[in-house]
Every structure is written in C-alpha cells, then in structure tokens.
C-alpha cells in the first residue's frame, strides 16, 4: 500500500512538472520578427592626425566644424548601432552638455568646451537615444525635457530614459510616451517572474515597462524563454534590453562577439554593447 502511494505521488509530481513545462514551452509562441537592436554604451574612437589630435570634419552649408564629441556619437550608426546610451550633465549656468570624447594626447581637444545638447541633438537625429537620468538633478528634468523637445527629439520612439525608480518616477509625468528603463523595477519584475512566471503569464510588475536583464538572467529560470517569454513581454506592452552584468548602478554591456551565443537567436530586443565599433559589425543574424 505504501509503495502504491509513493508511485502515485511520483506520477502526480511528474504530471505537474510536465504541465508547467508545457505551459511555458518556448515553441508555444512563434519566433518574434526582426533582429536585435544594438545599443552603444558610448561613442566610437576617432581618427587622429600626426599630432595626436582628433581630425576635424567640416559639414553643412557653412562648413562648420563638427565637435569630436558629436562625431564620436554619430559614428555609432555606421557600426550597426541603432541606439546610444548618452550621458548628459548640467552646467553651472543650468544648461545641458554631452560627454567629451576622451583624448589624453592632445591639449587642444582636452581644452575644448563641452558640447551643448542644442548643438549635438540636431546631428543625432538618425539614432535613438537612451539618456542617463541619474546624472541630472530631478529639479532640472522639466527644462531637460523642454530642451530635448525643442531640439527635435521624438518622445514616441526615439528617446528613452534610464535610471533608478526615484529618477524615473520624477520623469514619468514629463516624458510622454518615451521609454522608461527603471533598473530597480526590472529587478522586481525578474524576481516576480521567477516566482510566478510558471503560470504562463508575465507578472504585473513587468507590464508597461522596459525590462533590463543580464545574460545570467536568461535561460531556464526565465519561464518560457525565449519565444514564449518575448511574446508575453510584447503582450504586456513592454520591451526588453539585455546587458552583460549590473554592478550597483553601473550597467555593463557585452564585451565580446562570443557573448551573442548566450542570447537566443530569436531574440529581437535591445542589447547593450560596450565597444560598438568592434562588436557591431560581427553580428550577422
């Protein structure tokens, strides 16, 4: 009698495991359309002249010089990057500037002023921007959004913001339909999904958001990965971005072409890339 009870218990357990596995089988959903979108962590390296200074490029009807900071960011698109993670900071007089293109070999380049976003943005219209919100005081968010709109940024699909829950919550009423990447909410989403995702649906904490995950988050612990999970993400009006790892508030992109093998071939979301010029051209999907 005891042996029969044990056998039935084993059968029931197997049926439950089989049912859960079937409910979350990747093949239950079609492979998503399209390929991955590459997000550059920074601009590309620039060519230098015989003195070690950036080669200046003249563009436009007035033959104005494009600042190296902007050249570096523009080159992302040529390396197969569709988006750029950009650092914008506030100056003492309340204006906004982008990161300088680093060049320790040229006094001229190092002495050049930071480029205002009013100069940079019109030259970056072809690429999507993910703006780091943490580096800007929340009191400046209204002016930042106003400046971005005044310089042609489309808040429907061309602009996203990345930051903590505190930063993103402050931006939410200002940002319209811009994508908001809350890395703290993403942690909650992924944790909830590991606990509840076996039921075949995406937890509410993952809805209407951009889910930031690391390569280690992918695989069998992400119920339904890849196709079923990605279908659930789309159905929840959400998107996904994959990084190599997250260390505190620092998000690190993939650093080698081999890491593409750790991401499903059918994945069509965003992938954060450290060196876009090196890795971007190697991606053939």
6: in domain: no
pLDDT band at 7 (very low <50, low <70, confident <90, very high): low
Residue 19 lies in a domain: no
Report the percentage of the chain scoring pLDDT > 90. 36
Q: Is the pLDDT of residue 113 over 70?
A: yes
Residue 2: what pLDDT?
Answer: 54
pLDDT score of 43: 85
* 106-120 average pLDDT score: 85
* Distance in angstroms between the alpha carbons of the first and the last residue of the chain: 57
pLDDT above 90 (res 165): yes
Q: What is the mean pLDDT of residues 97-113?
A: 79
- For residue 83, what are its two tokens? 């988006």
pLDDT for residue 31: 65
How many structural domains compose the chain? 1
Instruction: Confirm whether 245 is domain-assigned.
Output: yes
Of 46-50, 53-57, 232-236, 260-264, which has the strongest mean pLDDT? 232-236
Beta-ladder partners of 162:
132, 181
**Assigned domain for 204 exists:** yes
- 107: tokens are 């006094």
Per-residue confidence at 181, pLDDT binned at 50, 70, 90?
very high
Is pLDDT larger for residue 69 or for residue 58? 69
Is position 16 within any domain?
Answer: no
Residue 2 belongs to a domain: no
User: CA of 97: how far to CAs of 144, 184, 251, 268, in Å?
Assistant: 11, 26, 21, 32
CB atoms within 10 A of CB 91: 11
Q: What is the mean pLDDT of the chain?
A: 83
The average pLDDT across 180-196 equals 92
Instruction: List, for residues 12-56, the tens digit of each pLDDT value.
Output: 554 444 444 544 555 455 667 778 899 999 888 888 888 888 887
- Residue 188 binned pLDDT confidence (cut-offs 50, 70, 90): very high
* DSSP notation for 108-156: HHHHSPPPBHHHHGGGGTTSEEEEESTTS-GGGHHHHHHHHHHTT--TT
CA gyration radius, the chain: 23
pLDDT band at 93 (very low <50, low <70, confident <90, very high): confident
236 in a structural domain: yes
Under the banding of pLDDT at 50, 70 and 90, the label for residue 273 is: very high
pLDDT of residue 24: 54
User: Quick one: pLDDT at residue 16?
Assistant: 47
- Tell me the CB-side half-sphere exposure of residue 43, using CA atoms within 13 A: 22
Domain containing 203: what range? 29-282
Residue 173 within any structural domain of the chain:
yes
Predicted TM-score (pTM) of the model is 0.84
User: Does 62 have pLDDT greater than 60?
Assistant: no
Burial of 167 (C-beta count, 10 Å sphere; 0-12/13-18/19+): buried
Q: What is the rounded average pLDDT of the residues 97-116?
A: 80
pLDDT at 40: 92
pLDDT beyond 80 at 158: yes
The CATH code of the domain that includes 108 is 3.20.20.190
């Amino acid at each position: 009698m005891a042996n029969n009870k044990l056998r039935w218990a084993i059968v029931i357990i197997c049926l439950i495991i089989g049912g859960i596995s079937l409910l979350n089988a990747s093949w239950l959903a079609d492979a998503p359309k399209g390929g991955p979108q590459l997000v550059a962590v920074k601009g590309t390296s620039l060519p230098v002249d015989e003195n070690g200074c950036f080669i200046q490029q003249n563009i436009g009807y007035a033959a104005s010089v494009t600042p190296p900071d902007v050249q570096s960011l523009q080159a992302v698109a040529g390396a197969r990057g569709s988006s750029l993670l950009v650092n914008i900071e506030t100056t003492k007089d309340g204006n906004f500037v982008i990161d300088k293109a680093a060049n320790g070999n040229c006094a001229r380049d190092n002495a050049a002023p930071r480029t205002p976003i009013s100069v940079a943005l019109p030259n970056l219209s072809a690429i999507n921007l993910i703006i780091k919100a943490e580096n800007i005081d929340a009191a400046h968010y209204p002016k930042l959004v106003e400046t971005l709109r005044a310089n042609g940024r489309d808040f429907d699909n061309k602009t996203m913001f990345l930051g903590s829950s505190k930063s993103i919550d402050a931006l939410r009423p200002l940002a319209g339909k811009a994508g908001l990447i809350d890395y703290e909410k993403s942690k909650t989403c992924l944790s909830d999904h590991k606990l509840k995702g076996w039921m075949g649906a995406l937890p509410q904490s993952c809805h209407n958001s951009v889910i930031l995950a690391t390569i280690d988050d992918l695989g069998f612990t992400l119920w339904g990965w890849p196709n079923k999970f990605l279908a659930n993400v789309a159905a929840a009006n959400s998107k996904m971005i994959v990084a190599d790892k997250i260390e505190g508030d620092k998000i690190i992109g993939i650093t080698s072409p081999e890491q593409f093998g750790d991401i499903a071939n059918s994945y069509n979301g965003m992938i954060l890339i450290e060196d876009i010029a090196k890795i971007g051209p190697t991606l053939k999907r």
